[in-house]
Amino acid sequence: MSGRAPGKPAYLWLWYADGSPAPVDSQYCGDIVPPAYKCNFGSGIDGSRIDDCRQQVQALLEAWYKDFNLLFTLTRPPSGDFYTVIITSGWAKCQQTLPPNEAGMDPSKEAGIAPGNGCIDNPGQTALAIECGSNAHDCATLIAHEHAHLVGLEHTASRTDIMYPTLLASAAGFDDNSDTTVDDACDLKTQNSYQQMLSTLGAWAGGTKPSPLSAALPDAGAPDLPAADRGDTSTGSGSVGPTPVGNDGDGGVGVVSGFDGSGLVRPTLPTVDPATQTSEKRGGCNLAGARAGASASASILLLLLALVVRRNLLRGSAARARSTSTRRP
């Protein structure tokens, strides 16, 4: 739960990388400077092309978020809790450090990633939209998909839903249907992505929303509620803002009890579309579950058994050597 006063909008800060260090901490690649954002789908050259790309992306985001009590901003909100998405168009040094997914796919192909958040809303955290330079629809889908993970949504099997596990041209917003979940880390079985976003963020009160590209925005949630009135149980702060409820801090990597396997972080999306078995660029974070944990445990057990067998063999050889030595005349 955020510290926003009742009725105040949530804020999503879209930080298009400019070649300088990221202005917020991130669980992933926090110590690596993101390359400046570039795009090849806008009109004009240099700065004007980037402006046009951002306008195209923003038009899609505003259509998908029009019913939610959330405003986009291109500058840091002055107060209150807010979400952040770092946007770039290729970040090889970061992608090389990302954890492999369950299928062992190459992390360098990851399109975006968000930290595990225990299936609850956690403003104050940062997600990455890494492959945002090719077309407006993919970029907007990445931003919305990764932000929705911060809000607490998981993947669904609907190919028209933003929360489908891979980037698809058929994604048309947050589905207002009861869709089957993928991996079901939150034990929901189904998810209505639209209704969950609406329930968490609240409904827009009406009227035209101010655009970050053309209008001054109201204060981001000020005045803040006192900590005692926030109603949440999160304590402390870490590299990604308020520590998510149920998380244990482990070197800046969130480990969510009952959400990911013990000692595992949420890896990113598989490259294979589960519906078609065709390779597609990934658009978010796959969830590390029991299968990954069981595989790791089995490998450790086999290694321990091999070490025990080897030790017994060595002891047996040593004992035979001592026995032969004592029988010599």
- Tell me: the pLDDT tens digits for 270-300? 333 444 444 344 444 633 223 333 444 444 4
What ranges do the domains of the chain cover?
Answer: 10-288, 290-329
Task: Write out pLDDT tens, residues 218-241.
Answer: 655 443 333 333 333 232 222 222
Q: What is the pTM of this model?
A: 0.68
Residue 3 reports pLDDT greater than 60:
no
Determine the residue type at 85. Answer: V
Query: Nearest-CA neighbor of 164 among 141, 186, 143, 140?
Result: 141
For residues 266 and 29, the model is more confident at: 29
First to last CA, the chain: 83
Please tell me which of 225-234, 247-256, 306-315 the model is most confident about, judged by mean pLDDT. Answer: 306-315
Determine the Cα–Cα distance for residues 221 and 201; give it in Å rounded to an integer: 12
For residue 188, CA distances in Å to 4, 128, 180, 193, 306 come to 27, 25, 9, 12, 40
What is the distance of C-alpha 295 from the center of its chain? 23
Determine the Cα–Cα distance for residues 253 and 257; give it in Å rounded to an integer: 13
Task: Write out pLDDT tens, residues 36-86.
Answer: 999 999 888 877 899 999 999 999 999 999 999 999 999 998 777 899 999
Contact (Cβ atoms closer than 8 angstroms) between residue 264 and residue 288: yes
For residues 112 and 213, the model is more confident at: 112
Task: Give me the residues paired with residue 10 across strands.
Answer: 70
pLDDT at 32: 93
Peptide bond into 210 cis (omega under 30): no
Lowest mean pLDDT among 174-188, 197-211, 222-236: 222-236
